[in-house]
Structure 1
Amino acid sequence: MNQTPPSGPLAKFSAFSQFCARVWALSAPYFRSEEKWKARLLLIAIVLLNLGTVYMAVQFNDWYRVFYDALQNKDQTVFWQQMGRFSYLAFGAIIIAVYKFYLTQLLQMRWRAWMTRDYLRRWLSHRAFYKMELGRYTAAANANESPDNPDQRIQEDVHSFTTATISLSMGLLNAAVTLVSFVGILWALSGSFGFTLGGSSYAIPGFMVWAALAYCVVGSMLAHYIGRPLIKLNFLQQRYEANFRHHMVRVREYSESIALDNGETVERGQLDGRFTTVLANYLNLIRANKKLIWFQSFFGQAAVIFPFLVAAPRFFSGAIQLGELIQISQAFGKVQDSLSWFVDNYDTLASWRATTDRLTSFEDSMVAQTQDNESLVTTPSNALESTGLKLALPTGAVLLADTSLKAHTGDHILLKGPSGSGKSTLFRAFAGIWPFASGSIAKPGNAMFIPQRPYFPNGSLRDALAYPEPASAYSDDALRQALEEALLPDLAARLDQEDAWSQKLSGGEQQRLAIARVLLKKPMWIFADEATSALDETAEKTLYERLLALVKASGGAIISIAHRPNVAAFHDRQWTLEKQPAGSNALYSLTASQLPQGGAAHA
């Protein structure tokens, strides 16, 4: 039987409980980690300092009473006594404030550092970063819910979450303890409020407490009603800002291509459109905040004068002295501040909730990727062999179905097919990184892949060449020899130069540097995806001859993807992806054939 979802107050309580559970799920791992004792001790110290802050506030409240009574009575002796008392109270409050700030910042920093490193470790484990990017384009992915901009999640949202969580939790603790501490003081000072109704006399004990409670309950309800749109607006603002920033990064990354295509106008238009979205949402955010600030300002200003208005009749009647009036005002202010914590922090709470929601979606996505049971089984082997291989696109379309193939040592295989037929996807399956694959693949362990767009980390050239291994694993002579064999002799003298090599080098130089990396590491098997597409025929011939010589010497094989017909001369076998008729169980099928002339002659 279908259950009716909760509504009204029950739905709000359920949503609040779920939010608290999300905050706990994000927070608890740090306080259970290898740093748990340091984290817990810092947290306990901060809690004690917050309690000390409340204790000092109670002492100051009593000081106000005695001090102002001394002024009213013109008692010079008590006046100077209270000045001395104020000195040590102020000194104690200063020490507490300084160490509360220091330890709070220290806990925030340590928590952020641990959480950031934990997210980086998990994001870069089990290829979660790669699968999450692919997951954004699946047919089932919801663009409004799929985690985007993981860089923002890790760099910005973790910082915002740890800061807001500690600040708000300590603020709530402070408010609760302050309320408990001052409500008794206010109750005792406010006396009873007497009135006559229907010929009967009534008295309300501690009426100032009830007045503060009513004042703040009404204020909290109005603040929630006025500020509720801020939650969604803050969430959207972070997304739009990140999308705008990401687009600018892409313009910088592809600056040369955009310049060659004269695409500045298009990019400016797209950036202007994204920035217009940022501004439009920000304007809505400003308007929503303006409404909330209108209310908060009115609420706060009215709270200043409210206790004086209520207590003034007792003061003018002589029931209380000036010191007690001031003490009532101070105690009422503390109770009102405590009860108004929700009102005063509504905008911060809205931003905190938006940050928590973003981190939760990021966390859920990472967990889903690392726990995903891939149906592609890979086993080590001296040859490459697939059985029952099925490849699909992120959209769900099947590229290949029930495909079996085999490559032996000594093979030089050319993989051909129309653009978009899944050649690179097949390579990804060979590497074991394609999540939309099933079947089994036996593959050699000592293999290297040369992708269409090789990656080079920013830094020294030796680091870019040795990546992902440390450059110290190779001698300078080995690094220089690899560069010279890859037709990059000019770079051999620049091993220690630091630069953004992906932007510094031309497309052809990047391809040669990727091949230099292969020549340096000397794998047995090489998978080359358009590895020489940006080179002239002479350079292509020279480099393929050296790659073939490498795999021949190591007893391996080479499998290449290429569209240029002259590349076939370096291979003796061909795998061809052929388009299947409509209604077939896959878009393409793979056939193997022998090339009329092989690359053995070039080796």
Structure 2
Amino acid sequence: MADHPDFEASAKPIAASVEASSLRDQLATIRLALATSPIRKQLLWACLGIVAVIVATSIGQVLLNRWNEPFYDALARRDMQGFLHQLLVFAAIAGGLVVLNVGQTWLDQTIRLKLREALTVDLIGEWMRPARAFRLANAGAIGVNPDQRLQQDAGHLSDLSTGLGIGLLQSFILLVSFVGVLWSLSSGFVFHVGGYSLAIPGYMVWAAILYAGTASWLSWLVGRPLIRFNSDRYTREAELRSSVVRVNENVDAIALAHGEADARRRLELDLGTVLGAMRRIYSAQINLSWVTDTYGWITVVAPILVASPVYFAGDISFGGLMMAVGAFNQVHSSLRWFINNIGGIADWRATLMRVADFRIALVETDVLHHTERRIEFGENPDGRLTFENLEVASRDGCTKLAEPHVEIRAGERVMITGDPRAGKTLFFRAIAGLWPWGSGRIGMPAGEVPAFVPRKPYFPLGTLREVLDHADAAVSDAEISAVLAE
């Protein structure tokens, strides 16, 4: 029996081609992974705990800001007794903040650990569903180097999400806590210009919003290309690691063929693409530094410049000035969270895209090409293996057997032959159920589990029992002992 390729020019490619999804889809798939995780309750309690700690820390920082006025006024009056009393107050507030900061660090690390566990376990579970890993490997670029997405990208996404999320929450709570303080402090600010008095309600609040908003807009404008550059770098790093692993697995063949020079050129080429991607990132980061560093230095004097007209007009004391400056710095630092983290946000966005698109591809692998024809699988009660009008679809067309009806009975030996690249490997994958796309019917012997031998043998690491269980062999411990005793 021989098989002959019968290619059809109109045949559609079977490989799944998953395009980059939207941000909403990416966030939705990560949320689903966390919602179905067995450790979701532990993760939720840790998140609630850190919210409570951040709220308590914000209260302590408000108290510390209020402490500024009596402390600096005591210095201005040269009041030693009041100065010493304020030092004791500071020690109490600072001691409480130290305890809260240590608790926040512990909760931060706990969330990172639990988040990575939840994401990685979910990805491994989806990847190891029957035949999914195989189908994804034949699904185009999304299935290349899944090890990086499972190990490095999932861990990096957990760290970035935790750090950025806690920072954003902390900035928001600080903003809510201090914006009222700054508004009340600047409500009495009156500007005297040319004999006229001008009062601007919440003057310093509007100044902080305008200042931080301008810096945020410029930072996003300059730093936005980092999303694309970071994603490209992770892809190039995965290709380099894959090449190194491939060379390491074939060192014997390379040495026997004296192919070290070719292997080195391949590795150097992959390294060159990584270095090129890194250069683009560094160039973008340098451009971003011009914006962030400039605003960072201006911020040193900005709050004093904003409040100085009112101070020199004699409307507030020195202690009131320092309290207003402290509140302005807190509000401004909360508003400039985006500026300080634009690089991390771009990195998070790129990593989220890689992890989420990988999970989406895993889930959709089983439903992709649902409009394509599929091979029908059935069972034959008389122990025969049959093929009825079998055609196996591939990227190049369709491969079919020369005979429309093939029947193989128990004990018969059959050799499948064909021209090179005729699709023999794909044919056997179809028999094993790994490649369901095509048409016709495959009838397997009923009540029997066929054994398929891959081109490259694989045995899991572990005990002999674990190896036999992996192969679905119904072998008892007594049978194993009898064989080993022979």
1:310 partner SS:
helix
- The answer to whether 1:356 aligns with 2:357 is no
The 5-angstrom pairing of residues 367-516 of structure 1 reads 367-372=363-368, 373=370, 375-381=374-380, 382-393=383-394, 395-400=395-400, 403-444=404-445, 445-458=448-461, 467-468=470-471, 473=477, 475-478=480-483
Q: Structure 2 CA distance, aligned partners of 1:188 and 1:296?
A: 29
- The answer to whether 1:84 aligns with 2:88 is yes
Higher mean alpha-carbon deviation, 436-445 vs 370-379, is at 370-379
- Of 248, 255, 273, 1:252 maps to 248
CA shift at 1:476, angstroms? 4.8
2:377 partner SS:
strand
Runs ≥4 in structure 1, deviation > 6 angstroms?
A: none
Structure showing greater Rg = 1
Amino acid at match of 1:133: A
Q: Structure 2 CA distance, aligned partners of 1:425 and 1:231?
A: 38
Cα deviations across residues 48-73 of structure 1 (Å, max 9, x unaligned)? Answer: 11111211111111112221211111
- Of 191, 195, 199, 1:194 maps to 191
- Of 112, 116, 120, 1:112 maps to 116
Amino acid at match of 1:454: P
Q: Structure 2 CA distance, aligned partners of 1:216 and 1:85?
A: 32
Q: Structure 2 CA distance, aligned partners of 1:132 and 1:32?
A: 22
Taking structure 2 as the reference length, the TM-score comes to: 0.87
1:446 partner SS:
coil
Cα deviations across residues 408-452 of structure 1 (Å, max 9, x unaligned)? Answer: 112122222233222232222221112333322121333212222
Contact 1:31 1:39 in 2 (8 A): no
Alignment partner, residue 332 of structure 1: 328
Contact 2:67 2:86 in 1 (8 A): yes
CA shift at 1:465, angstroms? 7.2
1:183–1:20 CA distance, 2 compared to 1 (3 A):
farther
CA shift at 1:352, angstroms? 0.6
CA shift at 1:282, angstroms? 0.4
Alignment partner, residue 49 of structure 1: 53
Q: Structure 2 CA distance, aligned partners of 1:363 and 1:297?
A: 38
Alignment partner, residue 7 of structure 2: none
Q: Structure 2 CA distance, aligned partners of 1:20 and 1:48?
A: 28
The 5-angstrom pairing of residues 20-419 of structure 1 reads 20-136=24-140, 143=141, 146-190=142-186, 191-194=188-191, 196=193, 202-372=198-368, 373=370, 375-381=374-380, 382-393=383-394, 395-400=395-400, 403-419=404-420
1:468–1:99 CA distance, 2 compared to 1 (3 A):
farther
2:416 partner SS:
strand
Contact 2:37 2:122 in 1 (8 A): no
CA shift at 1:38, angstroms? 2.5
Amino acid at match of 2:236: Y
Amino acid at match of 1:291: N
Q: Structure 2 CA distance, aligned partners of 1:168 and 1:427?
A: 49
Alignment partner, residue 10 of structure 2: none
1:446–1:29 CA distance, 2 compared to 1 (3 A):
closer
Contact 1:462 1:479 in 2 (8 A): no
Q: Structure 1 CA distance, aligned partners of 2:225 and 2:92?
A: 46
CA shift at 1:257, angstroms? 1.5
1:447 partner SS:
coil
2:365 partner SS:
helix
Q: Structure 2 CA distance, aligned partners of 1:313 and 1:102?
A: 44
Structure 1 unaligned blocks of 5 or more: 1-16, 137-142, 482-603
Ranked by relative contact order (alpha carbons within 8 Å, sequence separation 6 or more), the top structure is 2
Contact 2:189 2:315 in 1 (8 A): no
CA shift at 1:224, angstroms? 0.8
Q: Structure 2 CA distance, aligned partners of 1:324 and 1:202?
A: 20
1:345–1:403 CA distance, 2 compared to 1 (3 A):
farther
Cα deviations across residues 215-259 of structure 1 (Å, max 9, x unaligned)? Answer: 111101110111111110000011101110111000011111122
Contact 1:122 1:366 in 2 (8 A): yes
Contact 2:33 2:118 in 1 (8 A): no
Amino acid at match of 1:88: A
Q: Structure 2 CA distance, aligned partners of 1:50 and 1:28?
A: 26
Amino acid at match of 2:161: T
Structure 2 unaligned blocks of 5 or more: 1-20
Taking structure 1 as the reference length, the TM-score comes to: 0.71
Q: Percent identity?
A: 32
Contact 1:304 1:333 in 2 (8 A): no
1:449 partner SS:
coil
Amino acid at match of 2:320: E
CA shift at 1:319, angstroms? 2.8
Let me know the Cα RMSD of the aligned residues. Answer: 2.5
CA shift at 1:405, angstroms? 1.2
CA shift at 1:213, angstroms? 1.1
1:285–1:302 CA distance, 2 compared to 1 (3 A):
same
Q: Structure 2 CA distance, aligned partners of 1:167 and 1:424?
A: 47
Q: Structure 2 CA distance, aligned partners of 1:200 and 1:124?
A: 75
Q: Structure 1 CA distance, aligned partners of 2:297 and 2:65?
A: 21
Alignment partner, residue 513 of structure 1: none
Aligned pair count? Answer: 455
